[in-house]
Amino acid sequence: MSCPFNDEQLGQLKMFVELCKNQPLLLQHPKIAFFKDYIISLGGRIPSTGFTPKSFPASGDSGAATNNTSEKIPSSEDESETESDVELDMEGVIEADPIDDSQVMGDQEKETTDEERDQSDEKRSEAMRAFSEQNFEEAIKLYSEAIVLNPQSALLFAKRGQVYLKLNKPNACIKDCTKALELNCDSAAAYKFRGRAYRLLGKFEEASHDLCESLKIDYDDQTNEWLNEVKPNAEKLRQHKLTVQRKKEEKEHQDKLRRARNAQEARARAAQAQAEAPGGGFGGFPGAGGFPGAGGGMPDLTTLLSDPEIMALIQDPDVAMAFQDVSSNPANFVKYQNNPKVAAAIEKLQNKFFSAGFGGGAGAAPGAGPQPPTDDDVGLD
């Protein structure tokens, strides 16, 4: 395929590439958006720093300089829209307790004997008495001893989690209740106390979830009261997340439309630039007077090439090469008559170009002059 540019144009192109190498931010200029889109389509990377119009020389064409682009280039601030904080009722939220790695969790591989299980039950009874007497530190100690004897008991972890709640240690409670749920996923007590612990930490959505799960397993008035307490904040957070997600999806949709529009405009600009180049070609397609047999003026190639049907045809390499071949020599059309795809495409392109103002009449072969007579034309029997 011959080069569609002359030496002067190639020199200008080389200068432009060198300028882009030295000033990468030039690619952020709105008027070069089509070239930036092309680089991105090939997997290239563009400097992300925002475009500042003052860093580029003004165009010599005052008229062009005053024309605004049809699309505003979003700044980094526009793209990262500031989200307002959700107003929550934080009354009752406490400072989180530090994670205690020394918290007794027992040996999960231990095989508990019947004797150890009985001893564990005795420790649990003592711990419950200490809890009722509000001797919480003693209750923690006794529950820990019971867990060492029987580390597979979900109830022991849930009950010790309850004591940690009384000591305002929500993280320790969450750790115990989570272990209890690993041992027994239907532990209403573990869900209840962990839900309350999440509430004390201000994690209202997690609290709402756990308290709801507890009520599903075993209804309890206190659990229901705690749930009603966290519901308003949990609902506000849920609605906020839905709003954020909706805005994100809308932005992604707008970005997709913008990219498609930029790509379409880039194709149209490239088509117009090539059509206006010396020789009047667009990838081998004729310009004004270049179409053999054309009697009319040059149609608006930008309009023609924005036609989805035209674009679909010329993007097929076989069709593009065949049409270029026939354009240079109409007699070459004979070579493609036995190729249904190419013949039909050439005929369709021919009709499109003729109807757009190339002249010569729709239906005639590209650039066709007088055709050889047929048997019917001369009246042969």
Rounded to whole angstroms, the Cα distance separating 367 from 323 reads 12
Residue 134, pLDDT above cutoff 90: yes
Confidence label for 145 from pLDDT (cuts 50, 70 and 90) = very high
**Which tens digits make up the pLDDT trace of 113-132?**
999 999 999 999 999 999 99
Rounded to whole angstroms, the Cα distance separating 23 from 25 reads 5
- Residue 13 confidence (pLDDT): 79
Read off φ and ψ for residue 265, nearest 5 degrees. -65, -35
**Which tens digits make up the pLDDT trace of 5-58?**
777 777 777 777 777 777 676 676 777 777 777 777 777 766 654 444 333 443
pTM of the predicted protein model = 0.48
Rounded to whole angstroms, the Cα distance separating 336 from 321 reads 11
Q: In angstroms, what CA-CA distances link 205 with 24, 90, 169, 229, 332?
A: 47, 13, 19, 12, 73
Which tops the pLDDT comparison, 315 or 59?
Answer: 315
Which tops the pLDDT comparison, 237 or 160?
Answer: 160
- Residue 378 confidence (pLDDT): 42
Query: Which range scores top for mean pLDDT: 78-82, 155-159, 296-300, 305-309?
Result: 155-159
- Cβ(9)–Cβ(282) below 8 Å: no
Q: Which H helix or E strand runs over 64?
A: helix 62-66
Mind listing the domains of the chain with CATH numbers? 1-48 (no CATH), 114-238 (1.25.40.10), 270-368 (no CATH)
**Which tens digits make up the pLDDT trace of 324-360?**
777 777 777 777 778 887 777 777 776 766 554 444 4
Work out the percent of the chain whose per-residue pLDDT is above 70.
Answer: 69
